């Protein structure tokens, strides 16, 4: 694609990068076949190729129109298009640059800007989040569904932690929402790491990874969070200690941390060094052997795990190898509709995608649906009669069941 950037944007951060990405697109259309929003709406503007044309128009005209905002906001950033693209177009980077321009140019209505700022701050305010999710646990289920709020599924068995016996050590990230909504997932992670002989270091008052703000177009705020977390990690353990993420959304952000900093930013080298140490917890545990009680599960592969990190199939193979039965989904739907704050900002689209995903996940009558990302877990839980849990929690509880000699089957009420 030939481009001629408007002088208005000449000095804007990331525009040179956007220009290079636009020129790499050959408009073949392979990206459209796996795009969830295009599949639902059938509108070229709601496909990756269409959005690339819109971003090109934005950069060439120097005008940010309502159509630009509408169609770019509808993108889930699921990265399925990047998986399908034969030219290697860095679509997610391009979209982030465009969203940053929309925010810095204050192109949204005032009420929309205020709402997005409130959402961003609330989700990072751990005290409020913890109190809110604690309240949800005692609210009657009917009311939870009526309010379209996430259903929190309680564990069927308390998780017992044990101390690691080995000398290996990792920094275990708790995550913003996960630490507040499903703290048992982090306890399960620590217990499984301990069983593998790996000691865990935690970060006190852990900062956000920056994904929340950055993908909302608030790049300065996102980078500020990233810098704070980098400093905390550097102060918490030796510089060669692996950094383990249990939420695939946080993990994919941290693995690509350096790209969020300009070439001349002094923190870029710090980000490069830190990103090299980040691993998803599945990369650690899939090298271990565990004995679990059998259970039929449906495996939801979050976009950030499969397309973002390329780990969905590895996790599936390991879960089967240790003794869990994964029901066949046929073709795994592209995205569940959670996508960070998407389910809040685009609820109609998100709920349609959720229905498609849950139909596929429940068709094989699993005892539980397992996923690898907190946002997906909460979003799917809000519409599912089958419990939706993080795979870490399910694996640890099946390990505990196997040790206790407890028999489990497809009818187990989790």
pLDDT for res 318: 95
Q: How confident is the model at residue 407 (pLDDT cuts 50, 70, 90)?
A: low
Cβ–Cβ < 8 Å for 369, 384: yes
- The yes/no answer on whether domain 289-404 falls in CATH 3.40.50 is yes
The secondary structure element, H or E, covering residue 404 is helix 391-404
Length of the chain: 414
Q: How confident is the model at residue 277 (pLDDT cuts 50, 70, 90)?
A: very high
Q: What is the mean pLDDT of residues 139-153?
A: 40
Q: How confident is the model at residue 48 (pLDDT cuts 50, 70, 90)?
A: very high
Q: How far is CA 150 from CA 124, 191, 336, 393, 397, in A?
A: 17, 26, 14, 18, 22
Q: How confident is the model at residue 37 (pLDDT cuts 50, 70, 90)?
A: very high
Does residue 129 have a pLDDT over 80? no
pLDDT for res 125: 58
Q: What is the mean pLDDT of residues 208-217?
A: 90
* Dihedral sign for Cα atoms in the order 219, 220, 225, 228: positive
Per-residue pLDDT tens over the stretch 317-361: 999 999 999 999 888 888 999 998 999 999 999 999 999 999 999
Rounded CA gap, 17 and 263, in Å? 11
Rounded CA gap, 115 and 119, in Å? 6
Please tell me which residue, 140 or 348, carries the higher pLDDT value.
348
Neighbours of 135 (CB within 10 A): 10
Q: What is the mean pLDDT of residues 29-56?
A: 95
Q: Which residues of 341-376 are buried (b: 16+ CB within 10 A; e: fewer)?
A: bbbebbeebbebbbebbbebbbebebbbbbbbbbbb
Does residue 244 have a pLDDT over 90? yes
Task: Supply φ then ψ for residue 200, to 5 degrees.
Answer: -120, 135
pLDDT for res 137: 53
Lowest mean pLDDT among 85-99, 160-174, 221-235, 340-354: 160-174
Rg of the chain over all Cα atoms, to the nearest angstrom: 21
Average pLDDT value for the chain: 87
Residues 6+ positions from 216 with CB-CB distance below 8 Å: 99, 103, 116, 119, 120, 341
Q: What is the mean pLDDT of residues 289-305?
A: 94
pLDDT for res 413: 40
Distance of CA 382 to the CA centre of its chain: 17
Q: How far is CA 306 from CA 79, 157, 312, 326, 338, in A?
A: 9, 29, 5, 16, 15
CA-closest candidate to residue 364, choices 302, 304, 296: 296
For residue 79, is it left (φ>0), alpha (ψ between -120 and 50) or beta? left
Rounded CA gap, 173 and 250, in Å? 9
Rounded CA gap, 98 and 100, in Å? 5
Kindly report the pTM of this predicted structure. 0.87
Percent of the chain with pLDDT over 70: 87
Does residue 408 have a pLDDT over 70? no
Rounded CA gap, 364 and 377, in Å? 19
Q: What is the mean pLDDT of residues 51-74?
A: 96
pLDDT for res 146: 37
Per-residue pLDDT tens over the stretch 352-397: 999 999 999 999 999 999 999 999 999 999 999 999 999 999 999 9
Cβ–Cβ < 8 Å for 266, 221: no
Q: What is the mean pLDDT of residues 86-92?
A: 95
The domain limits of the chain are 7-108, 130-144+155-284, 289-404
CA-closest candidate to residue 245, choices 315, 307, 174: 174
The secondary structure element, H or E, covering residue 278 is strand 278-280
pLDDT for res 60: 95
Q: Which class would CATH give 7-108?
A: mainly alpha
Q: How confident is the model at residue 151 (pLDDT cuts 50, 70, 90)?
A: very low
Percent of the chain with pLDDT over 90: 69
Rounded CA gap, 326 and 294, in Å? 10
Q: How confident is the model at residue 144 (pLDDT cuts 50, 70, 90)?
A: very low
Cβ–Cβ < 8 Å for 86, 30: yes
Q: How far is CA 219 from CA 102, 109, 207, in A?
A: 11, 19, 16
Q: What is the mean pLDDT of residues 88-92?
A: 96
Q: How confident is the model at residue 177 (pLDDT cuts 50, 70, 90)?
A: confident
In degrees, to the nearest 5, what angle opens at C-alpha 213 toward C-alphas 6 and 85? 60
Does residue 124 have a pLDDT over 80? no
**Residue 371: strand, helix, or coil:** strand
Task: Supply φ then ψ for residue 214, to 5 degrees.
Answer: -60, -45
Please tell me which residue, 163 or 266, carries the higher pLDDT value.
266
The β-bridge partners of 299 are 370
262-271 contacts at long range (C-beta below 8 A, 24 or more positions apart): 262/13, 267/223, 267/226, 267/227, 267/230, 270/230, 270/234, 271/226, 271/230
pLDDT for res 176: 85
Tokens standing for 389?
């849990």
């Amino acid at each position: 694609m030939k481009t001629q950037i408007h002088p208005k944007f000449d000095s804007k951060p990331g525009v040179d990068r956007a220009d290079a990405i636009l020129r790499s697109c050959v408009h073949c259309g392979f990206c459209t076949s796996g795009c969830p929003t295009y599949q639902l709406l059938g509108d070229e503007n709601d496909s990756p190729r269409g959005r690339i044309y819109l971003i090109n128009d934005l950069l060439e005209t120097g005008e940010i129109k309502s159509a630009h905002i509408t169609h770019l906001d509808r993108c889930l950033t699921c990265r399925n298009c990047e998986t399908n693209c034969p030219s290697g177009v860095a679509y997610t980077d391009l979209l982030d640059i465009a969203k940053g321009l929309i925010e810095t140019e204050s192109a949204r209505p005032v009420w929309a800007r205020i709402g997005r700022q409130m959402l961003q701050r609330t989700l990072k305010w751990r005290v409020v989040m913890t109190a809110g999710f604690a309240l949800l646990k005692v609210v009657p289920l009917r009311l939870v569904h009526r309010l379209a709020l996430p259903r929190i599924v309680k564990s069927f068995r308390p998780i017992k932690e044990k101390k690691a016996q080995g000398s290996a050590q990792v920094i275990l990230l708790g995550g913003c929402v996960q630490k507040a909504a499903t703290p048992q997932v982090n306890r399960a992670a620590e217990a499984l790491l301990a069983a593998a002989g790996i000691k865990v270091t935690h970060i006190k008052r852990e900062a956000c990874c920056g994904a929340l703000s950055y993908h909302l177009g608030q790049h300065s705020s996102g980078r500020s969070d990233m810098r704070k977390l980098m400093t905390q990690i550097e102060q918490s353990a030796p510089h060669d200690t692996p950094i383990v993420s249990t939420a695939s959304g946080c993990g994919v952000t941290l693995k690509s941390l350096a790209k969020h900093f300009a070439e001349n930013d002094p923190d870029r080298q710090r980000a490069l060094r830190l990103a090299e140490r980040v691993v998803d917890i599945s990369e650690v545990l899939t090298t271990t052997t565990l004995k679990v009680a059998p259970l039929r599960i449906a495996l939801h592969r979050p976009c950030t795990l499969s397309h973002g990190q390329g780990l969905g199939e590895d996790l599936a193979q390991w879960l089967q190898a240790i003794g869990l039965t994964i029901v066949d989904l046929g073709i795994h739907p592209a995205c569940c509709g959670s996508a960070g704050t998407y389910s809040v900002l685009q609820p109609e689209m998100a709920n349609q995608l959720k229905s498609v995903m849950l139909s596929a996940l429940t068709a094989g009558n699993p005892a539980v649906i397992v996923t690898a990302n907190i946002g997906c877990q909460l979003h799917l839980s809000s519409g599912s009669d089958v419990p939706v849990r993080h795979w870490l929690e399910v694996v640890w509880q099946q390990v505990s069941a196997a040790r206790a000699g407890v028999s489990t089957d497809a009818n187990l009420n989790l």
